Structure 1
Amino acid sequence: MAASRRNRQAASRRRATSWRERLPARASVSRWLNGLLLCSALGLVAVLALRAWEGLLAMPVGRIAVAGKLEHVQRDEVRRVVAGVLEGGFVGADLDALRGHLEGLPWVYEAAVRRRWPDTLEITVQEQLPIARWGEEGFLNHEASVFRPRAGSRWQGLPTLEGPPGSEQRLMDYYQRLRDMLAPLDLAVTTLRQDERGQLDARLAGGLRLRLGSEDFLLRVQRFIDLYHNDLEARGPEVASVDMRYASGAAVTFHEPAQVAAVEPDRGQ
């Protein structure tokens, strides 16, 4: 009986040992299965996400809404421009490229494009504000940038500035200074031109021509103001031109009968 008991105990120990030996193998299989399931789940999620993203990219723009106070730019024109260059659908649309095309329109100063879910592109347009005419066909905006619209008959009464390429900002500064300095005399500037040598020539309302040359701009304008206030204002309609390009004094030309008041020439012109 003792031998039988020892045999049973030995067999029990062998079964326990065998079970413990099989545990690591079963745990390894379990971990492998769990990893496989996790990878499969992640792959499924990635596939679904990719398909969802592809669906979003393919979603068309349902509506183009145009906002902003528009006078010269037609809303239908804005929509046509956007529709003509729109690529990639609602989500895939290149908003920067769309903005660039819109700002290429003559009367558009600035444009903003944004998405409004679920399918609307919202366009906000700010129009150009002409401050002066530039030559025969162009206009200057508030930043002295030239733009050339197809039509601008409403703005034909703006003062005209004209100068060499690259002189826009400088000439705008001259014009604003001259306008502000002459305002107390009720003299308005209608034209200001600068030639290749930098010579400034202005026309005032009523036709008076004011020649300012290329030097001492503020000093010469102030000398004209003093001269006009003290001697010429009473004869305003008779004055044809005033040439301030002299070291002192001025040359004044009157309408018929012709009279010219001459002074010493300015050798430093």
Structure 2
Amino acid sequence: MGAILGRRRARREEQKKPVKTRGRRAPQGATRNAVVAEKPAGKGKSGGAPSVWFNRLLILLGAAVVFTAALKAVITVQSLPVQRISVTGELEHTQAQAVQDMVQPGLAGGFLSADLQQIQRQLEGLPWIYKATVRRKWPSSLEIHVVEELPIARWGQDGFLNHEGGVFRSDKAGEWEALPRLQGPKGSAQSLVEKYQRLVDILAPLNLAVEQLAIDERGQLEAVLEGGIQLSLGGDEFLERMDRFIGIYRTELAARKSEIERVDLRYESGIAVAFKEPTEADPSHVAGL
């Protein structure tokens, strides 16, 4: 029993002894049992800074190289010349070579630098071109599709009108002598085309064609039909007057179509008809119907 107690005392004494450690000595006044451990050898907080900055520099240099190469490629592509110009469409009055010659100055800057909208406007300024479509085809071609004007009437002495009332000029007016002629003050073309188309629709069931239609500064309409029949239509209410004319023409005038010289529709009710000069067997007269 005494031996066992002796061993326990010895263990307690050993536990009270300070523990020796490697490294720096404990500061003066520190607890005897405190353990002072040295930091393991190695890099501190700033130990990896040079490597991080070097990596960043490499990334920046790489990005600069890529950007420079891309910019150089874009500049190179922009300056590439247009090597082929194709012109398509049903061309009767426009030469494909004339179209190509017109667009050449706009291609001086290269394939990508060409202003396609400006080229389109220039082409649509040509006499017989109603609409032009211009597009790039990679890598060095330009495709142009042309829709020519379709004249529905002559305008004045040397002009033409399209279906929208647009006026265009041409030195080939002689080829279109059979077209009806429209005449009016400046700015009246579009509204006159609309009136002309209405008249054509109204007179078609009667087999009467409009050869001329004119409007003056006061808005008064005068028409000449096939066979030389002159119609005085008046102003804006000419559609109502035409309804009256159709009824009377069918019942009274159709049988004498070749004799009619002039019909005046400018009356509130009825019309006035002047017939052509008579032969000896057919005295002339003016009828009020």
In the other structure, the counterpart of 1:148 is: 169
Matched, 1:20 2:43: yes
TM-score, normalised on structure 2? 0.82
Q: Deviations over 1:25-60 (max 9, x none)?
A: 341000110011111111111111111111101100
Give the 3-state SS of the residue equivalent to 2:91 in structure 1: coil
Structure 1 counterpart SS, 2:48 = helix
Name the SS for the 1:248 alignment partner.
coil
CA distance in 2, matches of 1:237, 1:226: 18
Matched, 1:230 2:230: no
Greater CA drift, 85-94 or 44-53: 85-94
- Shift of residue 143, structure 1, vs aligned partner: 1.1
Work out whether residues 253 and 259 of structure 1, in 8 Å CA contact, stay in contact via their aligned partners in 2.
yes
Note the C-alpha offset of 1:74: 0.8
The residue aligned with 2:190 is 169
Q: What does residue range 78-227 of structure 1 map to in structure 2 within 5 Å?
A: 78-227=99-248
Aligned mate of 1:50, from 68, 71, 78? 71
Distance 1:85 1:54 in 2: 18
Determine which structure has more spread, i.e. the larger CA radius of gyration.
2
Q: How far 1:182 moved relative to its partner?
A: 1.1
Q: 1:87–1:94: 8 Å Cα contact kept in structure 2?
A: no
Unaligned ranges ≥5, structure 2: 1-19, 25-36, 279-283
Task: Answer whether contact 1:200 1:212 (CA < 8 A) is retained.
Answer: yes
User: Aligned pairs, how many?
Assistant: 254
Aligned equivalents of 1:255 and 1:167: distance in 2? Answer: 32
Alignment-derived partner of residue 286 in structure 2: 260
Q: Corresponding residue for 1:245?
A: 266
Q: What residue is the counterpart of 1:63 in the other structure?
A: 84
CA RMSD of aligned residues (A): 2.1
Task: Give the secondary-structure state (helix, strand or coil) at the position aligned to 1:20.
Answer: coil
Between the two proteins, what is the percent identity of the paired residues? 49
Q: What is the alpha-carbon distance in structure 2 between the residues aligned to residue 151 and residue 84 of structure 1?
A: 27
2: distance between equivalents of 1:215 and 1:91? 53
Q: Could you tell me how far apart the structure 2 residues matched to 1:217 and 1:209 are?
A: 14
Contact 1:60 1:119 in 2 (8 A): yes
Q: Is the helix fraction higher in 1 or 2?
A: 1
- Alpha-carbon distance in structure 2 between the residues aligned to 1:218 and 1:101: 40
Task: Answer with 183-192 or 251-260: which moved more.
Answer: 251-260
Q: CA deviation at 1:14?
A: 7.0
Partner SS, residue 112 of structure 2: helix
Q: Is the 8 A contact 2:166 2:189 kept in 1?
A: yes
Q: CA contact under 8 A between 2:82 and 2:107: conserved in structure 1? A: no
Report the CA distance shift for 1:15/1:128 in structure 2 as closer, same or farther (over 3 A).
same
- Asked if structure 1 preserves the Cα contact closer than 8 Å seen for 2:221 and 2:233, the reply is yes
> In the alignment, which residue of structure 1 is the partner of 2:3?
none
Q: Does structure 2 conserve the Cα–Cα contact (< 8 Å) formed by 1:210 and 1:241?
A: yes
1:95 and 1:233 map into 2 onto residues whose CA distance is: 56
The C-alpha deviation readout for 1:57-102, integer Å capped at 9, x for no partner, is 1100010011111111110011001103323211111111111111
After TM superposition, the runs of 4+ consecutive aligned structure 1 residues lying more than 6 A away are none
Question: For 1:20 and 1:236, how far apart are their aligned partners in 2?
Answer: 116
CA distance in 2, matches of 1:64, 1:168: 36
- Give TM-score, length-normalised by structure 1: 0.88
Q: Give the secondary-structure state (helix, strand or coil) at the position aligned to 2:185.
A: coil
Instruction: Give distance in 2, aligned partners of 1:206 and 1:190.
Output: 9
8 Å contact 1:129–1:141 — kept in the other structure? yes
Match for residue 29 of structure 1? 50
